[in-house]
Amino acid sequence: MSDEVAVLTCELRQRAGTGGSRAVRRDGWVPAILYGGDMEPANIKLRYNEVLKAYNTGKLISVLSKIVVDGEEQSVIGRAIQVDPVKDLPLHVDLMRVSEKTRINVEVPMHFLNQEDCPGLKEGGVLNIVRHMVEVIAPATAIPEALEADLAAGDYQVGDSIHISAVTLPKGVELTITDRDFTIATISAPSAMRSQADEDEEEAVAADEVAVVGEEEEGDKEE
């Protein structure tokens, strides 16, 4: 998790509904709903420029933030955002109150380290990422920015698969998929190598077919 926690300017909304939301947007705010934490949901509004910056930098949804409501600072996680389908600009945000005890399901990106030292890639293999994101259960106040797989540590060769078991999970973080050691990436042969392999296979098949035809013709002569 990043050490920089965004603090979003927040105020309570006096009016709910479509009309109230439009008025909020005209004044430079984004309507939002605050829920969770054994407290009643609250209609709030956030500064538009702060929401837009967080949204554009990927630090709004599933990322820890802080807001101040009625003078009280609260830790929150963005859980959903509604955007304009044409302009892709924020229209509404759902925020969930969290604490150190809160655990949430969240998708985090996979990072593949030391690719330049991976034997299979050094031989010309191609890294094929199967899962760019992996879902985990993590403390809301300690969501990892990414999971990391060290490609220099496993002696991966062309044709090998990299499984989630190769990843060391941060403390307190668990996988949501626990019934199998799923694949997160493979090291594929480059196209030139695959083409040569296909040609060799085709030649072998053709040779087998010629041999079979020859045997059949020989058998016909004997009869």
Secondary structure of residue 76 in the 3-state scheme: strand
Is residue 220 in some structural domain?
no
Kindly tell me if the per-residue pLDDT of 44 is higher than 90. Answer: yes
Mean pLDDT within 26-38:
93
pTM of the model: 0.73
Query: How many domains are contained in the chain?
Result: 2
Is residue 199 in some structural domain?
no
Give residue 14's domain range: 6-98
| 116 and 92 within one domain | no
**Phi/psi class of residue 209: alpha, beta or left (left: φ > 0; alpha: ψ in -120 to 50)?**
alpha
pLDDT > 90 fraction of the chain, expressed in percent and rounded = 69
The pair of structure tokens assigned to 39 is 């407290």
| 108 and 92 within one domain | no
| 73 and 56 within one domain | yes
Is residue 221 in some structural domain?
no
| 184 and 110 within one domain | yes
Is residue 204 in some structural domain?
no
Least confident of 51-60, 84-93, 205-214: 205-214
Q: Residue 212 — pLDDT band, cuts 50, 70, 90?
A: very low
Kindly tell me if the per-residue pLDDT of 97 is higher than 50. Answer: yes
| 125 and 84 within one domain | no
CA dihedral for 24, 26, 29, 33, sign (positive or negative): positive
End-to-end CA distance of the chain: 80
| 86 and 25 within one domain | yes
Confirm if 149 and 134 have CB atoms less than 8 A apart: no
| 133 and 112 within one domain | yes
Q: 213 vs 100, which has greater pLDDT?
A: 100
Model confidence pLDDT, tens digit, residues 134-165: 999 999 989 999 999 999 998 999 999 999 99
| 131 and 182 within one domain | yes
**Whole-number pLDDT of residue 152:** 94
Is residue 51 in some structural domain?
yes
Is residue 39 in some structural domain?
yes
Instruction: Kindly report the backbone phi and psi dihedral angles of residue 219, in degrees, each rounded to the nearest multiple of 5, phi listed first.
Output: -65, -40
CATH number, residue 178: 2.170.120.20
Is residue 214 in some structural domain?
no
CATH number, residue 90: 2.40.240.10
| 116 and 150 within one domain | yes
Is residue 128 in some structural domain?
yes
Q: Partners of 34 in the beta sheet?
A: 42, 95
| 164 and 110 within one domain | yes
